[in-house]
Structure 1
Amino acid sequence: MREFTASQTAARYNIDNSLPVNMHENATHTCEQLEKVRAILGNNPLIITSGWRNPALNKAVGGSASSDHATARAVDIRCPKFGTARTIARVLAASDIEFDQLILESPTLPGAWVHIGFRKGTNRRQVLTKFAGDKTYYAGVK
């Protein structure tokens, strides 16, 4: 949970990104699903680049007002010991893990990452790619 709420941007701007009690259930579910992601990725360490974002932090990073990060239901990850963000996205998309949305973010940049969101109940298993500087989300892993 500490990794899920940590934020370099929050530290830089002195934003308290503590998880409120009403988000514990969502955060716990997301972190439980991350353990499944870790297993799929060979039990290699996951680097969380963004997890829970309170409203001030979400605004500071330019996040959407409807971002699942703001409800503790999404996380951005990298797993360098497993492979590139594109490889991770392909493997997770092909797995049986129940995710709501999986987005390959900025795949042409060295710091590319995978956004993955989880909801209790019905998940869309939506797979998208978003390139840096492009506002369009493309279906599938590109």
Structure 2
Amino acid sequence: MNTSPQLSPHFSLREFTASQTAALYNIDNSLPVSLLENAAYTCAQLEKVRKQLGSNPIIITSGWRCPLLNTKVGGSAGSDHAKARAVDIRCPKFGTARTIARALAASNIEFDQLILESPNTYSAWVHIGFRKGANRRQVLTKFAGDKTYYAGLKS
């Protein structure tokens, strides 16, 4: 039984803050109360993503990142993960990261950034971020081992 508080109907605080890297390095990745509103908004937007992906379960592989965790995983200093405004996701029942990114880019969902990450690897994922009232609908691709973000969905 999941006793973690729900941030939205399908997403809990536990899954939003879970991190294998935090567990490995014994990092406390608890969400500050001051960011609870951002986390709830992000998860409310994820409900729209879930619906767009055929109501299939979404796996959050990275949500909130405390500053130490963000540094440990090589996140950017201004990362929306560190503001509880972004998640990295997979949705295996819907398809590959590329298929997910294409569906979301073509949707009417108001996102800030949609990034297809490491698309040519087995572990590819989709980063999606939400900024209340300030979404850019920026679509990017970032290849593994490359620091460059390319505009659009690239092969």
TM-score tier after normalising by the smaller chain length:
over 0.9
- Unaligned runs of 5+ residues in structure 2 are 1-12
Q: 2:149 aligns with which of 130, 137, 140?
A: 137
1:121 lines up with 2:128 in the alignment: no
RCO higher in 1 or 2 (8 Å CA, sep ≥ 6)? 1
Paired with 2:71 and 2:148, the residues of 1 have a C-alpha distance of 20
- Cα-Cα RMSD: 0.6
Paired with 1:101 and 1:52, the residues of 2 have a C-alpha distance of 16
Moved segments of 4+, more than 4 Å? none
* Residue 43 of structure 2: aligned partner: 31
SS at match of 2:57: coil
* Residue 110 of structure 1: aligned partner: 122
State the Cα distance separating 1:28 from its structure 2 match.
0.5
SS at match of 1:102: strand
SS at match of 1:122: coil
Paired with 1:88 and 1:116, the residues of 2 have a C-alpha distance of 11
* Residue 13 of structure 1: aligned partner: 25
Paired with 1:94 and 1:115, the residues of 2 have a C-alpha distance of 15
TM-score with structure 1 length normalisation?
Answer: 0.98
Paired with 1:101 and 1:4, the residues of 2 have a C-alpha distance of 18
State the Cα distance separating 1:2 from its structure 2 match.
1.3
1:84 lines up with 2:96 in the alignment: yes
SS at match of 1:17: coil
| Identical counterparts, % of pairs | 82
SS at match of 1:123: coil
Paired with 2:149 and 2:27, the residues of 1 have a C-alpha distance of 30
* Residue 51 of structure 1: aligned partner: 63
Amino acid at match of 1:58: N
Paired with 2:54 and 2:96, the residues of 1 have a C-alpha distance of 14
TM-score with structure 2 length normalisation?
Answer: 0.90
Paired with 1:110 and 1:122, the residues of 2 have a C-alpha distance of 33
Number of residue pairs the alignment of both structures matches: 142
Amino acid at match of 1:25: E
- Unaligned runs of 5+ residues in structure 1 are none
Q: 1:64 aligns with which of 76, 81, 93?
A: 76
Paired with 1:137 and 1:17, the residues of 2 have a C-alpha distance of 27
Paired with 1:96 and 1:32, the residues of 2 have a C-alpha distance of 15
State the Cα distance separating 1:114 from its structure 2 match.
0.2
